[in-house]
Amino acid sequence: MVSPICVICKGSKHLCGEPTCELLDSIRARTPKIDITSREIIGSSPPSVFVGRYGYPKVKVGPMLPPTIVPLAGRLDSPAQWYGWEIEDVIGLRASLFRTGGEIRVQEASNPGRVLESYQLVAMADRPVDTEVLLKKPIVSRQPELSFDMAPMGPFGEAERTKLTENVHVPRRVDYIASDTDLKSVDGAVDLYDNRISPYQIQKLLSMGLLGQGKKRRMVPTRWSITATDDILGKAIISEIKGYGTVDDYSVYTGDFAGNYFHILLVPRPWSYEMMETWLKGAFWASENTILRDSEGYRGRKDYASNITGGYYAARLPVLEHLKEMRRQATVMVYREITEEYWAPLGVWVIRETVREVMKSPPKRFDTLQKAIDFITSRARVKNWLNSSELLRELATQRTLFDF
């Protein structure tokens, strides 16, 4: 049964005290069960790796792959290609991507053995890698894993043996940064991003302990590394855009995907950021209309955005990419409404890729803040959304030098 704490927990914090989330279990029950009767899996890893969080610092680690060699394996782990798909199609695609491997201590990333080294090679690759895995036992009657943060995944099978059956293609810059054990992980991630390495690959490198200084290297659970990458890259862009002038007018960008409706407002003021999301009654986690909010000022925030969690950073990054391309800074408000159309969680990539697409669309431009707010209100499902925005209330009463 849905309770008011579900929208805060989103199935990850176990605030209800139950070992599993009943809501997620109910969605899994609607998906077909998966059987692999053979102990042997021979498939094309997209490439993809998974690092679990349970049992930390000893966690499940290994490559992800389908049970066969497929010609378009890359799309199995390419969220940018899923934008516009139906929810059931994303779940169906990802359900075929099995997690394999075994338990390894996160500290071993700094001095990997042969097995972990092969897993790290998969994380470094930019093309699918044909892989053979011998499971300790077959995967029988299992269903896909669903979570708020991560894309759906097939079930886990413990590996007795893993073998890469082809040479791995590693981008030169990735190889260089992964080999630099004097470079801090933050600096390595930013360097890769500046050299056009995808944030999705940077997240894999961070997760597999391939960034950072020498003996300090650690594997990072996939769930954590997704948000860490968004945050690291976002902060780097913030430092850059603070040297630019502000946008010229009040601009509103709108768009939607899979029952997620976005309104993004850029205000001609120095950098600050607020994100609000309204889970409408009947949406996946919501027993009633519930508005969550997190924000940061010009100097940023020191703590984690614990209300909106990973979605806060996933939305911030593409907005910042857009401002960087414009060579401008702005005060930014992102308002997301989640409806019952979003009947299963697909991961924060939905937020990241939807905002990225929304920022490509022509905005509506206004000469006053009030007109921009009125436009958002005219399209919003919850008309009193503005009452929850501390940032916009502050802007409405705050005067600048140009007002005198």
- Reported for 79-82, long-range contacts at CB under 8 A and 24+ positions apart, including other chains, are 79/151, 79/200, 79/347, 79/349, 79/352, 79/353, 80/353, 80/356, 82/349, 82/353
pLDDT confidence of residue 398: 72
Comparison of pLDDT for 284 and 207, the residue scoring more: 207
129-135 and 156-164 beta bridge pairing: antiparallel
Beta strands of 7-70 (E only): which ranges? 34-36, 40-45, 49-51, 58-65
Per-residue confidence band for 17, with pLDDT thresholds at 50, 70 and 90: confident
Residue 10 has pLDDT above 60, yes or no: yes
Average pLDDT over residues 137-144: 84
Comparison of pLDDT for 30 and 347, the residue scoring more: 347
Per-residue confidence band for 99, with pLDDT thresholds at 50, 70 and 90: very high
Average pLDDT over residues 69-78: 91
User: Could you give the CA distance from residue 398 to residue 333 in angstroms, rounded to a whole number?
Assistant: 16
3-state helix, strand, coil in the chain (%, to 5): 35, 25, 40
pLDDT confidence of residue 400: 55
Average model confidence (pLDDT) across the chain: 93
Residue 257 has pLDDT above 50, yes or no: yes
Percentage of the chain lying above the pLDDT 70 cut: 98
How is residue 107 written in tokens? 């500290």
Residue with tokens 């695609």: 93
How is residue 269 written in tokens? 């003021």
DSSP designation for 145: B
Task: Check if the beta carbon of residue 276 is closer than 8 Å to that of residue 252.
Answer: no
Residue 402 has pLDDT above 70, yes or no: no
Burial class of residue 325 in the structure, from the number of CB atoms within 10 Å of its CB (0-12 exposed, 13-18 middle, 19+ buried) = exposed
* Tens-place pLDDT, residues 167-221: 999 999 999 999 999 999 999 999 999 999 999 999 999 999 999 999 999 999 9
How is residue 279 written in tokens? 């889970």
Minimum mean pLDDT range among 34-48, 202-216, 246-260: 34-48
pLDDT confidence of residue 353: 98
The domain spans of the chain are 34-164, 172-236, 250-403
Rg (CA), the chain: 22
* Tens-place pLDDT, residues 316-351: 999 999 999 999 999 999 999 999 999 999 999 999
